[in-house]
Amino acid sequence: MNSKLDHFFNPRRIALVGASERGMYPAGLLRNLLDYGFPGDIYPVNPKREAVFGLPCYPDLAQTPQVPDLAILVIPRRFVLPTLRQCLELGIPAALVITAGFAEADEEGKRLQAEMAALLADAPLTVIGPNCAGLANITGRVIATRLTTPPKAGWSPKVGRVSFVSQSGALMMALYGLFADRNLGLSRLISLGNQVNVTLADGLAYLAKEEETAVIGAFVEGVKNGRAFAAALKTALIAGKPIILVKSGRTELGQAAAATHTAALAGSDRVFTAVCRQYGVIQVDDVDEMADTVALLAAFGDKLRGRRISLVTQSGGMGSLTADLCHRAGLELPPLSDNVQNQLHALPHLLHFDALGNPADVRGASVIGEATAKTLAPFLADPDTDVVLLLLAKSALREGEDKTAKAIIQAAQSAEKPLIVVWVGQREIRDWRLETGDSIASLQSPATKLLTDAGIPVFASSSRAIGALARAVGYWQFRADWLTDPELEVSHG
């Protein structure tokens, strides 16, 4: 792909201007590039040091052995513009400006940012920032941001097809952790900062065309170029890459906060929402809804096209609650066919004398250990079912539930149909300090860890699962309709 952002995500040589063995960014960025195994050359630049973390340190960008593809600036703001001018003189194509204190800060910062924008107008230098937290290409081991330190040498994050673009650096890094907790494989992370040069639209357009990205998450405070933003959304929709978006600054109070954070102009929420609807963007209210929806779309993609749901439950109450949620979300619960009924009644562990409904209350013995796979098989093979939801109401810490998880995995891997698990009950192992009673550790149960490691989405409540499912199904149905009629505008989810 030929994009002005290629040098940020696929550099051969990186210069870190302001490198040090101390400081959150001067040390942290260099440490991450090293620890995550950046495959190219790294040039620390700092006139006050001869070496940083064992690497030779150069007094000036002009003194590096070769011209860098990417310069990362972690220097006081008064040095940023002279350094960018030097980048232009040397032919460095890309610069990542971590330094804050520009238009989001004070009048002097606004003046400096305006001067930066003028410098970059029509210049052969592309800049992300200022006031950003960096970026990452997980697949290429370009970790130019502050992610969690790898637990051991040679370790790397799970690679996948989820990418995230954010106007908040801290939120970008926090969502990296949230996605990692869900075992979601990541591809690209972008923190935009004040968008003096590279905008939200540029980031979205890049991800819409980038081959290793299938699902895009976005945190937005404001849009600088409405036409370019709409064009990027359209590109993603045509490519079949769902965008799941959280927007702040939807009220006057939020808009004021955005202005002091990244100097963002939030604009009209009504207009913004209308543009999102026009191009099928899944707009959610918080990061949990984003993570839920991303998890389903990353796991199943366009297999989530149909609204016909089979609910398999061990709890009648949980089944009826989830049925209500499905109805309100516009999801269908068709009656089970005679073929499915006959297969279920032939199972020796399923103690039922009457026809099963949907939700199908199969009782506890049917979802314990190896029996679980046999219980799920008829539902997963049913041509009248698009998605199967397994509803469990029990402790995931009970002895033998790891066997239940393995049976669920076996059933899922033997079928093409999406299988989602809602597991209500204790799911964490806690370690306690005996003398104080304070919790010192909390670990995911072996059963639910097996499921998430196998790529099976697990939810702690029916409401979150159904909400995410309705949004995902709505996206694919909207896209199918839109490709037929591009003038269509539908609010989904």
pLDDT digits (tens, 9 = 90+) for 61-98: 999 999 999 999 999 999 999 999 999 999 999 999 99
What is 158-303+485-493's CATH superfamily?
Succinyl-CoA synthetase domains (3.40.50.261)
- Report CA torsion sign: 28, 34, 36, 41: positive
Task: Flag whether pLDDT at 18 surpasses 70.
Answer: yes
d(CA 160, CA 149): 19
d(CA 430, CA 442): 5
Instruction: Return the amino acid letter for 134.
Output: G
Burial of 54 (0-12, 13-18, 19+ CB in 10 A): exposed
| pLDDT, position 12 | 97
| pLDDT, position 253 | 42
Give the tokens for residue 485: 């009629």
Domain with CATH 3.40.50.261 in the chain: 158-303+485-493, 305-460
Q: Which residue, 195, 198, 199, 191, is CA-closest to 164?
A: 191
Q: How many CB atoms lie within 10 A of CB 231?
A: 16
Query: pLDDT for 287-321, tens place per residue?
Result: 999 999 999 999 999 999 999 999 999 999 999 99
* Class at the top of the CATH hierarchy for domain 305-460: alpha beta
Question: Per DSSP, which regions of 281-399 are E strands?
Answer: 282-284, 309-313, 360-361, 387-393
The third-level CATH classification (topology) of the domain covering 1-132 is: Rossmann fold (3.40.50)
Burial of 463 (0-12, 13-18, 19+ CB in 10 A): middle
d(CA 12, CA 3): 16
- Report CA torsion sign: 378, 321, 461, 304: positive
Strand partners, 56: 51
Pairing of strands 215-220, 419-424: unpaired
Model confidence at 435, in pLDDT bands (50, 70, 90)? very low
Secondary element (H or E) of residue 372: helix 371-381
Model confidence at 172, in pLDDT bands (50, 70, 90)? confident
Q: Which residue, 165, 229, 223, is CA-closest to 201?
A: 229
- Report CA torsion sign: 394, 400, 402, 407: negative
Domain with CATH 3.40.50.720 in the chain: 1-132
d(CA 84, CA 347): 71
Model confidence at 174, in pLDDT bands (50, 70, 90)? confident
Query: pLDDT for 245-267, tens place per residue?
Result: 999 865 554 444 444 444 444 45
| pLDDT, position 481 | 95
Residue, of 149 and 415, whose pLDDT is higher = 415
d(CA 444, CA 450): 10
